[in-house]
Amino acid sequence: MRFWHTLISLALTLAAGIGLLVLSGEGRRLLAPALQAELVVQDFLVPPGFGLDPDRVAGFMADQLAQRLEDDVAIRLTLKSDVMKKVKTIVLPRLMNVVAVQSMMHDIPELSAILDIGSFRRTVRGTVHSTAAMQDVALTMPGALLAEVDGAKVKLTTTSTGLKALELGAMTVGQSHAVTLWLDDSALNADLGRSVKLGAAEGLRGRVLLWGDHDWFGADMEALRWSRWLIGAVLAGVLLFGLASLLLPFLRRT
């Protein structure tokens, strides 16, 4: 009987102590692996209708060029009327079609960024830290469209399973990377807590700590601050009860 009493008291004490450690913000250091990512998820709100429509841009450019053909005296004197007509009806529509304009806009970094902004729905920002030398470090992120590492734009790769991945390469002991990723619509329906993975060469698995994701058990604690104190008080009471249960037999002997 004493064995079970001691075992239950010890379990309550450990559980309450770990719970208080997590509430204090120090739980992330508990049994931390050599490779760890601490990330914050935020919604990326875009005003309705924001962005550029390649079809509209193509039509506008074709109309403007056709008008320039009409207004430019030098062109009218150089080209015959039938040639002018063919340029307006055949050449310009083929040069300024939506596919060509969209490709041109994506080739210009500033315009490409504006086109991508209309597709952004979430951002993920944080750090990836390593306490040991690692090779081929990578972070998978569903729906990723754009990524930055330490303030520099980097290219995303696609894994064999179709997930987008951010390759960080080799990391030295104590090295950290600040990462930022922009995600599309598919990230809204994905369970980021399960689908975001961190790993390195030789099958090494890292740990991903994610803040800001919605609809998780206990999410209201972030908004209801008094609930943290309530839960903390309950855990503190359980901790004291467990310690008292463990110490009481020894006090009785004395």
Looking at residue 254, its pLDDT comes to: 59
Do 137 and 184 fall into the same domain?
yes
Given 83, 116, 149, the domain boundary residue is 116
CATH number of the domain residue 195 falls in: 2.60.40.2960
Do 135 and 178 fall into the same domain?
yes
Looking at residue 251, its pLDDT comes to: 66
Given 166, 186, 205, the domain boundary residue is 205
Do 43 and 150 fall into the same domain?
yes
- Residues in the chain where the model's pLDDT stays below 50: none
Do 143 and 110 fall into the same domain?
no
What is the 8-class DSSP label of residue 233?
A: H
Do 43 and 163 fall into the same domain?
yes
End-to-end CA distance of the chain: 21
Looking at residue 113, its pLDDT comes to: 67
What is the 8-class DSSP label of residue 32?
A: -
Do 42 and 134 fall into the same domain?
yes
Structurally, the chain folds into a number of domains equal to: 3
Do 41 and 155 fall into the same domain?
yes
136 conformational bin, left if phi > 0, alpha if psi -120 to 50, beta if neither:
left
Looking at residue 31, its pLDDT comes to: 66
CA distances from 118 to 29, 182, 192 (A): 38, 11, 21
Contacts of residue 249, Cβ cutoff 8 Å, sequence gap at least 6: 2, 6
Dihedral sign for Cα 212, 214, 219, 223, please: positive
pLDDT digits (tens, 9 = 90+) for 156-210: 888 888 888 999 999 999 999 999 999 888 777 777 878 889 999 888 899 998 8
The CB density around residue 237, as the number of other CB atoms within 10 Å, is 11
Domain range spanning residue 29? 1-33+214-254
Looking at residue 149, its pLDDT comes to: 93
Percent of the chain with pLDDT over 90: 17
**Interatomic CA distance for residues 95 and 91, integer angstroms:** 6
Do 18 and 40 fall into the same domain?
no
Do 137 and 196 fall into the same domain?
yes
218 conformational bin, left if phi > 0, alpha if psi -120 to 50, beta if neither:
left
Dihedral sign for Cα 79, 83, 85, 91, please: negative
Looking at residue 26, its pLDDT comes to: 65
What are 155's two structure tokens?
Answer: 């290219």
Given 94, 116, 138, the domain boundary residue is 116
Do 168 and 230 fall into the same domain?
no
Do 12 and 58 fall into the same domain?
no
Write down the number of H helices and E strands in the chain. Answer: 10, 11
Contact call for residues 66 and 84 (beta carbons, < 8 A): no
Do 20 and 77 fall into the same domain?
no
What is the 8-class DSSP label of residue 48?
A: T
